[in-house]
Amino acid sequence: MNLPNLTDTIVALATPPGVGAIAVIRLSGPTAIEVADLIFKGKKLADQTTHTAHFGHIRDRQGRDIDEVLATVFHGERSYTGQPTVEISCHGSPYIQQEIIQLCLQSGARLAQPGEYTLRAFLNGKLDLSQAEAVADLIASESEAAHGIALRQLRGGFKNEIAQLREELIHFASLVELELDFGEEDVEFADRSDLKNLVEKIRSHLRPLIQSFALGNALRTGVTTVIAGRPNAGKSTLLNALLNEERAIVSDIPGTTRDTIEEVLNIRGVQFRLVDTAGIREAQDAIETIGIQRTMEKIEQASILVYVWDVAGGMTLADVHADLAALVSRNSVPGFSNTRNGVPGYLIVCNKMDRNPLFRTEWLLDPTLPDIHPYLLGEEPDLGGPDLTTFKKLSNHLNAPSSFLLPPSSFIPVSAKNQMNIEYLKEKLFEVAAGEGVSLESTVVTNARHHDALRRADVALADVLVGLEANVTGDFVAQDIRRSLAYLSEITGSVGVEDILGNIFGKFCIGK
């Protein structure tokens, strides 16, 4: 990438293009204040103290008044870019904006490239790379949670955490490198067990950061959540319960939700796009067939599958397994078959608990109880305490593939109709999207580039450990440490940044 020239004075509209009450035009660079003085009629801006605003007029070369404006002066280094800056607040008509920008261009400024202000801030040491990216996130943040995370990153939370880890690793890297200087001599400056402890400590810091990306990603892009299940299981009712309003059509006739319905549910700042689908049982008519087709397509695009099981409808656990296996295998969505952060991308909602109060999700915990037929449980079986033999007699044998065992924590008992346990279901949805134990209060990685660098650093550190375990020579250890250092440095932009700069700043729009 060719880095733009820092000695130019650049100009651009800093507010969105179009009509507004006011617009801000930003001039920055070594001659920004001189350029502004050429077009601004009022006090001489060069004589004013920094961080002050001044009323005046913008006049063109013919002495024609363009607008009444307020010019804010930033001297020297104490501006956003680290260079002299003038921000001209004018009235928000596109004509005025264009005239003022044209006048600045005629007076010696050039048009800024996308992200060039923030790039200057970075090159002048006002921001590190992760902070510069946080500016983009801050501007783009749509929810309170995303805003909070971007703001924390802008203030340098992430940077400090990484910088400290790097520091400690550099210390060891230099000790190992020192050993290499001694060549043949068998010296060990870097205590291997200390190094191992440090690497393990760093990895334990990296892991939550890496895991937090699931939440970071969810915050940025939202989470598509498909609600599937057999006709009449209560999918539409559940959707309504989650949204707390009457949106989907609810009826007693199986298969009434002919098409998919999409609604957005906000849980702690994460936007869940809920998709209600037609029942998954074999279609009776043509319209229903289309509905099922849509279900399959939706599941393919989803990150979370919520399977609704009517526990009063005569379906066994084996049936549930079979339905899920069919849904998952037909789509082979990686998120469903694998577990992410130990949490699978699906939840099984045991619905209509009000009609089968004897049903206990704890029974699902018992591996010796391969199947449950809740419909048969008209009255509480005499289980004699924790011994469930009577109950077992009622159960059919389960033939679900052993690769598809459902963890009991994935079963959520609710009554959609009575709004029972819906809040808990929301908590579980958040947990599946964010990963267990990840909270908005800790550092959350929202940027794919950071996540990738952290992951690579972690892999390199794992290699260091493998090397230490196998007693490899110092040069191999040093190589793996250097690799992990390089990845950590990529995040804050301390080394090897040239090639990634274009990528990052190119995503900004002009004027940022």
Other C-beta atoms lying within 10 Å of the C-beta of residue 256:
16
Q: Does 250 bind ligand GDP (CB under 6 A)?
A: yes
Residue owning tokens 């990296």: 206
Q: Does 244 bind ligand GDP (CB under 6 A)?
A: no
Which of 260, 337 has the CB closer to ligand GDP? Answer: 260
Minimum distance of ligand GDP from residue 322's CB (angstroms): 18
Binder among 79, 415, 489, 492 for ligand GDP (CB under 6 A): 415
Segment contacting ligand GDP by CB under 6 A, of 58-66, 100-108, 348-356, 384-392: 348-356
Which of 312, 485 has the CB closer to ligand GDP? Answer: 312
In the structure encoding, which two tokens stand for residue 38, read together?
């050429």
Which of 237, 489 has the CB closer to ligand GDP? Answer: 237
- Asked whether the beta carbons of 215 and 435 are under 8 A apart, the reply is yes
Segment contacting ligand GDP by CB under 6 A, of 2-10, 43-51, 231-239, 290-298: 231-239
Residue owning tokens 């990438």: 1
User: Which DSSP helix (H) or strand (E) runs through 503?
Assistant: helix 498-505
Segment contacting ligand GDP by CB under 6 A, of 90-98, 246-254, 316-324, 442-450: 246-254
Q: What is the distance between the alpha carbons of residues 386 and 393, in angstroms, rounded to a whole number?
A: 15
Q: What is the distance between the alpha carbons of residues 29 and 84, in angstroms, rounded to a whole number?
A: 6
DSSP per-residue letters across 58-93 = EE-TT--EEEEEEEEEE-TTSSSSSS-EEEEEEEE-
The backbone torsions φ and ψ at residue 128, rounded to the nearest 5 degrees and listed phi first, read -95, 175
Other C-beta atoms lying within 10 Å of the C-beta of residue 475:
11
Q: Does 351 bind ligand GDP (CB under 6 A)?
A: yes
Which of 210, 228 has the CB closer to ligand GDP? Answer: 228
Q: What is the distance between the alpha carbons of residues 87 and 12, in angstroms, rounded to a whole number?
A: 10
Q: Which residues of 412-446 are buried (b: 16+ CB within 10 A; e: fewer)?
A: bbbbbbeebbbeebbebbbbbbbbeebebeebbbb
Q: Does 211 bind ligand GDP (CB under 6 A)?
A: no
- Contact letters (x/-) for ligand GDP, 416-435, by CB under 6 A? xx------------------
Residue nearest ligand GDP, CB atom distance:
234
Binder among 56, 115, 231, 435 for ligand GDP (CB under 6 A): 231
Which of 118, 236 has the CB closer to ligand GDP? Answer: 236
Binder among 75, 352, 428, 512 for ligand GDP (CB under 6 A): 352
Minimum distance of ligand GDP from residue 501's CB (angstroms): 51
In the structure encoding, which two tokens stand for residue 470, read together?
């196998």
Binder among 157, 234, 269, 435 for ligand GDP (CB under 6 A): 234
Binder among 36, 233, 377, 460 for ligand GDP (CB under 6 A): 233
Interface positions, 276-305, toward ligand GDP (CB under 6 A): 279
Minimum distance of ligand GDP from residue 223's CB (angstroms): 21
Minimum distance of ligand GDP from residue 420's CB (angstroms): 7
Which of 113, 361 has the CB closer to ligand GDP? Answer: 361
DSSP per-residue letters across 412-467 = EE-BTTTTBTHHHHHHHHHHHHH-TT--TTS-----HHHHHHHHHHHHHHHHHHHH
Binder among 59, 281, 355, 426 for ligand GDP (CB under 6 A): 355
Q: Does 237 bind ligand GDP (CB under 6 A)?
A: yes
- Asked whether the beta carbons of 112 and 44 are under 8 A apart, the reply is no
DSSP per-residue letters across 211-223 = HHHHHHHHHHH-E
Minimum distance of ligand GDP from residue 282's CB (angstroms): 15
Minimum distance of ligand GDP from residue 305's CB (angstroms): 14
Minimum distance of ligand GDP from residue 446's CB (angstroms): 35
Q: What is the distance between the alpha carbons of residues 86 and 410, in angstroms, rounded to a whole number?
A: 57
Which of 340, 355 has the CB closer to ligand GDP? Answer: 355
User: What is the bridge-based pairing of β-strands 411-413 and 40-41?
Assistant: unpaired
Q: Give the binding site for ligand GDP (CB under 6 A).
A: 229, 231-237, 250-252, 256-257, 279, 351-352, 354-355, 415-417
